[in-house]
Amino acid sequence: MTESLAKFNAAHAALDYVKDGMVLGLGTGSTAAHFVRQLGERVRQGLRVKGVPTSEATRNLAEQVGVPLLEISQVSAIDVCIDGADEVDPAFRLIKGGGGALLREKIVAAASKQMVVIADETKWVETLGAFPLPVEVTRFGFALTQARVVEALRATGCAGHEVELRVSGKSNEPVITDGGNYILDAHAKRIVNAEALAAALQGIAGVVEHGLFIGLAQTVILGKDKGAEVKRL
């Protein structure tokens, strides 16, 4: 499988969910970027939609390709949110946040009538957790929060318990999210009870948001070298 082609094909298939006049949630990451670029082409051909971006990177790209934007404060509901994922399981539970945009992504997905996930087929897994789970935390007291995230992994039966502060490969400095927070990457390895882990993380002071998206996606489009497979719950 050629990853980039598969991502392009997933993004292309998601255009079927876009109708004239819609407000769209625009995801973050390389697959979502394929979608935004293809949406820009449709806008240039006359499609009238407005997008709510989930990150500053997506905002910049959407502006470059001519997709009109709205602030989240200007909308009461979003018709469809189209976003990538780091892992998807058969119950359409997701790990998101590899690109660090999980907070805005979750706010936009939760405000959407429908969430369509676009991903290359390697993102489909039987059990979540091989991809490190991103957890956005306040900078204040992050080491204490990190210790409590380790406890949450242990308490909910995860196979791995290591949690590391995400640092930039270039500067070796902590990555700062669009919201001004840090990201902890939780190496759970195997998440046996995603709902319990989500609840445990939500209960930790200092956790702003976590990358488990549960009960949000109804459609998953898995891109392949040729075309894409559409799965629905």
**Interface residues toward ligand 5RP, by CB under 6 A:** 27-32, 83-86, 96-102, 105
* Nearest approach, Cβ of residue 48 and ligand 5RP (Å): 26
Query: In terms of C-beta density within 10 A (0-12 exposed, 13-18 middle, 19 or more buried), how is residue 131 classed?
Result: buried
What angle (nearest 5°) sits at the alpha carbon of residue 19, between those of residues 17 and 22? Answer: 105
What angle (nearest 5°) sits at the alpha carbon of residue 25, between those of residues 196 and 13? Answer: 95
Q: Which of 50, 2, 10, 16 is nearest to 33 (CA)?
A: 10
Q: Which of 154, 158, 140 is nearest to 207 (CA)?
A: 140
Residue 25 vs 206, nearer CB to ligand 5RP:
25
Residue 96 vs 210, nearer CB to ligand 5RP:
96
How crowded is residue 46: how many other Cβ atoms within 10 Å of its Cβ?
Answer: 7
* Nearest approach, Cβ of residue 99 and ligand 5RP (Å): 3
* Nearest approach, Cβ of residue 169 and ligand 5RP (Å): 15
* Nearest approach, Cβ of residue 208 and ligand 5RP (Å): 14
Mention every residue, 6+ apart, whose C-beta is less than 8 A from residue 132: 164, 185, 186, 187, 188
Q: Which of 44, 43, 54 is nearest to 20 (CA)?
A: 43
Residue 151 vs 214, nearer CB to ligand 5RP:
214
Using only C-alpha atoms, the chain has a radius of gyration, in whole angstroms, of: 17
Q: Which of the 8 DSSP states describes residue 208?
A: E
**Rounded to the nearest 5°, which phi and psi values hold at 155?**
-65, -25
Residue 102 vs 198, nearer CB to ligand 5RP:
102
Residue 101 vs 207, nearer CB to ligand 5RP:
101
* Nearest approach, Cβ of residue 57 and ligand 5RP (Å): 9
Q: Which of 87, 105, 136, 209 is catalytic?
A: 105
Known catalytic residue: 105? Answer: yes
Point out the residues that are catalytic.
105
